[in-house]
Amino acid sequence: MRRSRNVKIVATLGPSSETLEMIEALHRAGADVFRLNMSHGSHAEIAQKHAIIREVEKRTGSTIGILADLQGPKLRVGVFSGDSELLSEGADFRLDLDPAEGNSARVCLPHPEIFAALEVGASLLVNDGKIRLKVKECGSDFANCEVITGGTISNRKGVNVPDVELPLAALSEKDRADLEFACELGVDWLALSFVQRPADVLEARDLVRGRAAIMSKIEKPNAVERFEEILAVSDGIMVARGDLGVELPVQNVPPIQKRLVRRCRAAAKPVIVATQMLESMIESPMPTRAEVSDVATAIYEGADAVMLSAESAAGDYPIEAVTTMDKVATEVELDPTYTEIIESSRKADRETVADGIVAAAREIAETTDIKAICCFTQSGTTALLTARERPRVPIIALTPLVGTARRLALSWGCNCVITDPHDRFKLAVVSAVLAARSEGFASEDDHIVVTAGVPFNVPGSTNILRVAPCDERLIYASDPE
């Protein structure tokens, strides 16, 4: 299903979007990748959604990516004798390991690893930062705090600790079980929550064993500080602005978002901008003007994809939310300013033959009447490098591997086509021509650029480029071999 835009849309599935009819409608409205939130639903329910997506894929003839988002460790306070308490600014409040019900003076925080890492002066944020505590005194099983920002604290509210690196692995026991289940199910991407260090990603990679691509969610200050190291061991990045905005001053998030998106593009790794993009559409058929500008900003910055969370999972208007995002993306990409911004930010380091080939393909396409860049790819690397160039013409990614095609469904501008394996470049060119014509990107009177690696089926071997006529008879006539 050909889109009229290059940026991709990720839609989260949930109670509002779990039937075959709704999931197909969301895909037709513009969703390119579906997110399965492992925090909600049983394995049986997740498997059912996965099966429906694959059925939609068959019905539409599309290539659809599936992203399983692992929950990560959840840090929460215990319960209160009255279910909630009001904490006043300036008051003292104690967190400890005592499982007894809490009151206005204390509550259980059943996470000894937090106490082990705390220092005097550190902040603890409760209930998405609505309550802020400052540590005055702490030990291995307690923290005496001052209430800096008061409010109502209630049972099992979440706790964030922004000032310290916690001695916690990104994968809980639940995550490990969910990871294995998702990989066996056949998802294309796994999103890791609570990433603090590169070792968190490497641990997941050992467990995944190549069965899915790994996306690191950047939602903690430590991940921002060590971003280059995390990016190097990740296949993709999600800028999870919700948690970032809790643990960091909110004014810090926009420049961080811009910086991370640019670094991902330079590294030729897909990046999703996520959280609260059209949040008012959970209850309203129309977004706010500010939300539309927020989506547009992420697209102007060069993000590979923008994501809907509760808007499509639990909202009243999931189709309208996807349609709105599709329309915003289409309009932004028609803006000449968008092209200027994208091309002025093309600052990738080119060190390999493959880098040079895809850069040359983009320059040829933009200086002559070329209708598309067709890249043969085994692992997806050639398509990712081509997407990094952000060419003005469509990218057709041809691969014999359906898994590669589905992973590329997340990447900017990639129109994925499953093709037969080839061992001769001429036959690959003919296959590219037929794909360009059948998908509506070119007619028999047009030309395309074809890139590939010879010998075939060797990942990372891109080393050849050809400008080809879209009449396959001319290819055979000009090259009798």
**Residue 117, exposed/middle/buried by CB under 10 A (0-12, 13-18, 19+)?**
middle
In whole angstroms, give the CA distance from residue 296 to residue 220. Answer: 24
The single residue of 35, 49, 132, 437 carrying the catalytic annotation is 35
Residue of 106, 97, 114 lying closest to 147 (CA atoms): 106
Residue type present at position 138: C
Query: Is 149 annotated in the active site?
Result: no
In whole angstroms, give the CA distance from residue 268 to residue 318. Answer: 31
How is residue 471 annotated by DSSP? -
DSSP reduced 3-state for 279: helix
Residue of 65, 104, 70 lying closest to 88 (CA atoms): 104
DSSP reduced 3-state for 140: coil
Residues making up the chain, counted from first to last: 481
The single residue of 76, 94, 136, 205 carrying the catalytic annotation is 76
> Where on the phi/psi map is residue 457: left (φ > 0), alpha (ψ -120 to 50), or beta?
left
Residue of 430, 436, 331 lying closest to 394 (CA atoms): 436
The single residue of 275, 377, 404, 419 carrying the catalytic annotation is 275
Cα dihedral 289/294/300/306 (nearest 10) = -120
Residue of 432, 435, 437, 438 lying closest to 450 (CA atoms): 432
Query: Is 262 annotated in the active site?
Result: no
- DSSP-assigned states of every residue in 390-419: --SS-EEEEES-HHHHHHHTTSTTEEEEE-
In whole angstroms, give the CA distance from residue 162 to residue 165. Answer: 8
The two beta strands, 142-149 and 151-154, are unpaired
- 37: β partners: 69
Is 346 in contact with 317 (CB distance < 8 Å)? Answer: no
Query: Is 259 annotated in the active site?
Result: no
Is 444 in contact with 402 (CB distance < 8 Å)? Answer: no
Whether omega for the bond prior to residue 455 falls within 30 degrees of 0, making it cis, is yes
The single residue of 5, 217, 371, 388 carrying the catalytic annotation is 217
Query: Is 275 annotated in the active site?
Result: yes
119 C-beta neighbours (distance < 10 Å), count: 10
Strand boundaries in 129-256, DSSP class E: 131-138, 142-149, 151-154, 159-160, 189-192, 213-218, 236-240
Catalytic sites, residue numbers: 35, 76, 217, 275
